[in-house]
A and B are shown apart, each in its own frame.
Chain A
Amino acid sequence: MESPLFLLKTEGLHLGYGRSSVLRNVNFEVRPGEFWFFLGPNGAGKTTLLKALLEEIRPQQGRILSDPKLYRRDNLGFVPQRCDLNPTLSTTVREFVLLGLVGIRANRRDRETRLAWALDKVGLVGKAEKDYWSLSGGQRQRALVARALVRRPRILFLDEPTKGLDLAAEDALMQSLTDLNRQEALTLLFITHDLTLAARYASHVALFHNGKVQGGPISGVMTPDRLQFTYGIPVSVSQEAQGEVTISMGRGRKAT
């Protein structure tokens, strides 16, 4: 049987909790190696869609199609917005990252190889024996990414992983993710509120507004009128000669 061209595809997807509806008629397609950004205001359904793609909630209507060869549990990685770890509990970076291997068969040697690779990819080499709580906020966030990467995923879901990070930590994390996307052809689905990040790193964007999702290549979706419709304030998008994208929001707020 031939593999489909897409990694993931939604057809007429309706999502919600109980009787309440959150998203209606969602149709989009993710192909291997794409870097997707999910953008939209709070409560627009970004995390709900992510949960559905991770099979944590069932569609009310419609379906999610996937490539069975690539879209398997052991090929999926997830980086939550925050970690619920009890802060009074001591744990090393090694123990924390290796927790990501649940559901994957790996012997001791394989585990060590995966651990070293994941820590290398997020710039935490030499920190394996460190106390997780002694790391800085940015390093902890990268440890969360390493915990997802230790599974050697083909597709990585990230729920606002840059929230609360300073600029340097955010830049280091985004650089790690971009390298993984380019070097390992890792498919990334990234939830954020940061339009600038999306403008700089996304290959594809999905805009969430009022129960609807508009998704596709960044050039077709991240347009001023669509962004204004999504956020309800004037947004202008311009591309400099060097390829740098400038986003201006509201009255004169500018970000590049």
Chain B
Amino acid sequence: MIQDFASSWHLFHNSYLAGWLIGLLLALIGVLVVARNQIFIGVAVSQASTLGIALTMWLGTSGLFSHLTAEYMSPVMAVVFSVLAALVTVSRGETGKETPEAITGWVFLFAASGAILIVSHSPLGLEEIHRLLSSSIIGAAASDVWIFAVFLGLTAIFIGISFQRLLLFSLDPAMAAAVGMNLKIWGLITAAWLGLAVGLAIRTSGMLYTFGCLVLPPLVAKSLCREVRAMFVVAPLVSLGAGVLGFILANHYDFPPAQMTVALLCLCLFLAWLWRRFRNELKKSP
């Protein structure tokens, strides 16, 4: 099985590396999303970036952009729309006029319906949106590997430098404000970071893989860890482990790697829930 995988390396190494780097990056950022109980924001932001891509395609087919420009603009629009969605869901949800869930739901539904409507008369566009929604990481280029490696490095540095502040901001905003942290600025920074990561990841790996890697590894870590700080180590390791195993199995049994990895992560989460339940029962027994 491993030999099969090794023999496919020269053909698909960029896809494998990009997939693992995306998994590591999103698992790190996802810890903050899960800690703040904002899981649905992840899917809304992912969906918003598909709207950006759909809009670029429509501009390409309508003649406003050349096809080449549309090709280059596509990742930019994916990032712009996901950053915008993250900013809207975080900032509008915190004003108290409407619940964050309502804003997030609106963003998701608007983006989901808008993306399909915009490309519904273009067979190629519709196919591309379906590809993005169903996820396929095969086809990543060397540039994707570099982009995600750099972004992962920057994210790790950012989390390392501002670890305590990020933790306090995520866990107890009232206390964070009392010690002098500007909640608006921290909210914007984390939302923009999330939007940027999701927007870049969607273009390469699709919505299912992006959303799966954003929330499943941190949820597994949440069930296994006794402290939030440990989740920042365990979540990326779970993501990488599932990614490596998922790609090897998918290659051997000829399954799509993104779906295989997400299915494995779901299995990990189920086992982690069972483990937590077992651990809690053990604590209760005399």
Contact = CB atoms under 8 A, between A and B. Distances in A.
Contacts of A95: 227-229
Interface residues of B, number: 25
Contacts of B37: 86, 88
Given A56-B178, A78-B178, A92-B226, A85 B172 contact: yes
Nearest to A88: B222
B184 to A, nearest CB: 12
B225 A86 contact: no
Contacts of B229: 95
Contacts of B179: 73, 76, 78, 100, 102-103, 151
B142 interface: no
A90 B227 contact: yes
Nearest to A131: B226
Contacts of B274: none
A102 B163 CA distance: 9
B180 interface: yes
Contacts of B175: 78, 80, 83, 99-100, 147
Contacts of A101: 164
Interface string B205-230: 00000000000000000100111110
A92 B174 CA distance: 19
Contacts of A90: 222, 225-228
A87 to B, nearest CB: 9
A151 B168 CA distance: 14
Contacts of B241: none
A86 B35 contact: yes
Contacts of A88: 37, 222
Query: Which 7 residue pairs across A and B have the least CB separation, nearest first?
Result: A78-B178, A80-B174, A95-B227, A102-B168, A102-B164, A99-B168, A73-B180
Interface of B: 34-37, 164-165, 167-168, 171-181, 222, 225-229
23 contacts: A54-B178, A55-B180, A56-B177, A78-B179, A80-B172, A83-B174, A85-B171, A86-B171, A88-B222, A89-B222, A90-B225, A90-B226, A91-B171, A91-B226, A92-B226, A100-B179, A101-B164, A102-B164, A102-B165, A102-B179, A103-B179, A103-B180, A157-B178
Interface of A: 54-56, 73, 76, 78, 80, 83-86, 88-92, 94-95, 98-103, 131, 147, 151, 157
